[in-house]
Amino acid sequence: MADATPTHETDPTGADAREHARLTALLEALPVAAALFRRTGTLYALNTEARGSLVVDAKAPLASQHWNVVLLPLGDEGTGCLREAAAGAPPVTRAMALGRDGRRVVVRVVPFEAELLLLTVSEVADREPRRVVSERVDRELAALLELTPAAVRMTDLAGHIVQVNALAGLEHSAQRPTTVRELWELDAPHDIINNRPLSFLDTPAMRALAGNTVRRQLLEVRRLGAQRVIEASASPIRDAQDGVTGVVLFDLDVTDREQLAGQLQDREGREAALQEQVSYEREQLEQLVEERSRALVASQEEHVRERRLAAVGQLAAGVMHDVNNALNPIMAAAYLLRHHAESPDAVRDYANRIQKAAEIAAATASRVGRFIRQEPVHAGGDEALDLGALAEEVLDLTEPMRLQRSSGSGTVDIVRQISPEVRTRGLPGEIREALLNLVQNAIDAMTSGGTLTMRTFVEGGDACISVRDTGVGMSAEVRERAFEPFFTTKGSKGSGLGLAEVYGIARRHRGTATISSVPGRGTEVTLRLPVDRGVQAAAEAEPAASAVTPLHILVVEDHDDGREFLRRILRADGHEVDAVGTCADARDRLAAAEGSPAFDLVLTDVGLPDGSGWDLVRHVRARHPAVRIGVITGWEAQDDRDAESGAEFVLRKPLRAAELHAHIAGRPRSASPTE
């Protein structure tokens, strides 16, 4: 055989050379030996397989080589086939022996284009084993398809169904689909997971033809004359070059399995419902013990609501009573002031009485507000207290009540067990009010007379004061509810706030109140307050009055009389005062004063017609940081809010002139409106 390396094989040039190269490439794509001859008998082109089977001179031009020489291995039969085809005969096919080894080949000659003849040589020995192997694979595949429990379909690249197993053939026996589109139309598939009809392009077959593998897609289809549920899988069939040549469809009918799963789910649901019913009934059994109390609470809700409303009415009546008691001497003193205006001593006396009455009214409002909120007393708003001195004051104040009771059915004796130096810190007005409530309760409890003992002592870290009587005492039930607001055993004569207020005062002073009582033998109530170990025995002397430095003050107060009186008080102390009634006017005055002598101090109310005084405080602090700020309010002061706002001091109405002067001068006093 000739060398496979061509040199000077062809003599075409230009366009002929390109055509020759194209035809040579086509021959190389054939899986058999192939050659092109001109009808004149000369060789035009051949593939590599032909070089190994025919006689070709690798160094001579192809056009110089004739089929008589090239086809020598095929003998006369080979050249005869070419002559017949060249003479115009139809395609010629002959089986013959090739060479000396006797290999059997099939020679086929067909006309190719106008002047060319195509000759192919394929060995029978290669084709037969392949055919045998292919038939064996087909039989094995058919047996495998029949054994599988799923419907199997195989398609070509165009979507034509080329092979099915028996189960697939039964699913649409009346009208067997020949393409995947016909299968889609007959199935009318519905995507169960996404609950939507499945479009043709989304079918497993079309997705596999696009090169994707689909595994166990749950679909509802119309097969075997009913709606069935299948798990559809599809895989592309690929050739040696990894190109898709077809698809295998694998549809497993899971209708029975899904039905069983549904039945199992239903059973689990019934079991869960049964378990829930059992749990519910168990809870009902567990709650049987509580049913009577719940029914009792439900039946008493309306009664409790009415009792609370009545208690609120009693509270309002008590507050009104205390306020009217405070207003009465104010009105009387004001009347007497007009008639004794020419007497300085009388004017001072009546002015002092008006001040004390106003302080009592302020104390009432303050106690009610703190009772409602149960706020603790803040450090700096309290003062050092001698509980022994307060006890003596309260006993002196209640002496008329004791004498009145003693003049009746029995005598009430007083026993003083006052220890010295029992000190705490707090609001004297509130502690005094708590002791007054306890003494009054003790006297009321001794309807036939008895002994009232007032005792002060130190126990651990507590400064203690107790009031004990020898009266009727309390039952365990009454003792447990004694500190509840609006609970009373006095009927219409009591508001139910006495002991509740005592308890609230103790809590606000970071202390406790306890009751010890035996029915028929008496009751003892003890207040335990934190000891003040830094209090000096002697009272500090008031600082000597110093000269007042005149300031330029802006007063912001919406109440006309309050604004005017505040202006007069400040001017009487030598200050220059501008007064306005709104936040807007205050901001305008502050802005206008930037080019002239500025304000030294701003005094503002909280409740203003066009905003909150706290907003004005923040405005002044941001725009005029050098200006001092003070707040005067009728509401209870709140230390956390005061600190956040930037106010230097906060005073509560009714305002004390001495306290105001002290804060303006930078010498704040620890004064309380409940003193």
DSSP string, 169-218: HHHT-SS--SBHHHHHHHH--EETTTTEEPPGGGSHHHHHHTT--EEEEE
Mean pLDDT of 68-79: 88
In a shared domain, residues 524 and 559: no
Is the pLDDT score of 15 beyond 80?
no
pLDDT digits (tens, 9 = 90+) for 194-228: 999 999 999 999 999 999 999 999 999 998 888 98
pLDDT of residue 592: 84
Structural domain includes residue 354: no
Verify that 391 and 496 share a domain, yes or no.
yes
Helix (H/G/I), strand (E/B), else coil: 525: strand
**pLDDT tens-digit series, residues 480-517:** 887 776 566 665 444 445 688 888 888 888 899 999 99
The residue out of 253, 282, 297 marking a domain boundary is 253
Decide: 117 and 36 in contact? Cβ < 8 Å. Answer: yes
Looking at the fold, whether 519 and 560 belong to one and the same domain comes out as no
To the nearest whole number, what is the mean pLDDT of the chain?
Answer: 80
More confident residue, 370 or 346: 346
- The CATH number of the domain where 172 resides is what? 3.30.450.20
Inform me whether the pLDDT recorded for 141 exceeds 50. yes
What local confidence, expressed as pLDDT, does residue 538 receive? 38
Given this model, what pLDDT does residue 537 score?
40
The reply to whether 445 falls in a domain is yes
How confident is the model over 366-420, as pLDDT tens digits? 666 655 555 565 555 578 889 999 899 888 878 877 777 776 667 888 999 998 8
The pLDDT tens digits for 539-589 are: 444 445 556 788 889 999 988 877 888 888 888 888 889 999 899 998 988
Q: What amino acid is encoded at 631 in this protein?
A: V
Q: What is the CATH number of the domain that holds 504?
A: 3.30.565.10
Do residues 557 and 605 touch, judged by C-beta distance below 8 A?
yes
Instruction: Tell which of 253, 273, 306 closes a domain.
Output: 253
**108 and 169 share a domain?**
no
Residue 596's SS3 state is: coil
Residue 10 within a domain: no
Instruction: Tell me: pLDDT of 625 over 70.
Output: yes
Residue 267 lies in a domain: no
Given this model, what pLDDT does residue 8 score? 40
On whether residue 332 sits in a domain, the answer given is: no
451 and 520 in a single domain? The answer is yes
Please check the confidence at residue 675 and state whether its pLDDT lies above 50: no
Cβ neighbors of 283 (< 8 A, separation 6 or more) are none
Q: What is the mean pLDDT of residues 261-268?
A: 76
Confirm if 468 and 442 have CB atoms less than 8 A apart: yes
**CATH number of the domain within which 617 lies:** 3.40.50.2300
Residues 115 and 220 in one domain: no
pLDDT category at 118 given cuts 50, 70, 90 is very high
At 108 the pLDDT is 92
- Which of 122-131, 398-407, 449-458 has the lowest average pLDDT? 122-131
In a domain, 313, yes or no: no
Tell me: do 630 and 495 sit in the same domain. Answer: no
Is there a single domain that holds both residue 231 and residue 100?
Answer: no
Mean pLDDT calculated for residue range 236-250: 88
Q: How far is 672 from 540, CA to CA, in rounded Å? A: 17
Q: Do residue 21 and residue 52 come from a single domain?
A: yes
- Asked if residue 332 has pLDDT above 70, the reply is no
Range of the domain at 486: 379-530
Q: What's the pLDDT score for residue 415?
A: 92
Tell me: pLDDT of 450 over 70: yes
Residue 199: closest CA among 219, 215, 223: 219
* Most confidently modeled range among 23-27, 288-292, 409-413, 541-545: 23-27
**Among 223, 253, 283, which residue terminates a domain?**
253
Average pLDDT of 13-32? 84
Mean pLDDT of 130-147: 70
Report if residue 364 sits inside a domain: no
What domain count does the chain have? 4
- Rounded distance, CA 426 to CA 429, Å? 9
pLDDT of residue 300: 67
- Say if 358 falls within a structural domain: no
Are 157 and 107 part of one and the same domain? no
**Helices (DSSP H) in 6-94: which residue ranges?**
15-28, 48-51, 67-70, 75-86
pLDDT of residue 212: 93
b/e string for 444-481 if b means 16 or more Cβ within 10 A? bbbeebbbbbbbbbeeeebbbbbbbbbbbbbeeeebee
Say yes or no: 20 and 115 in one domain: yes
Q: What is the mean pLDDT of residues 220-243?
A: 89
Same domain for 98 and 156?
no
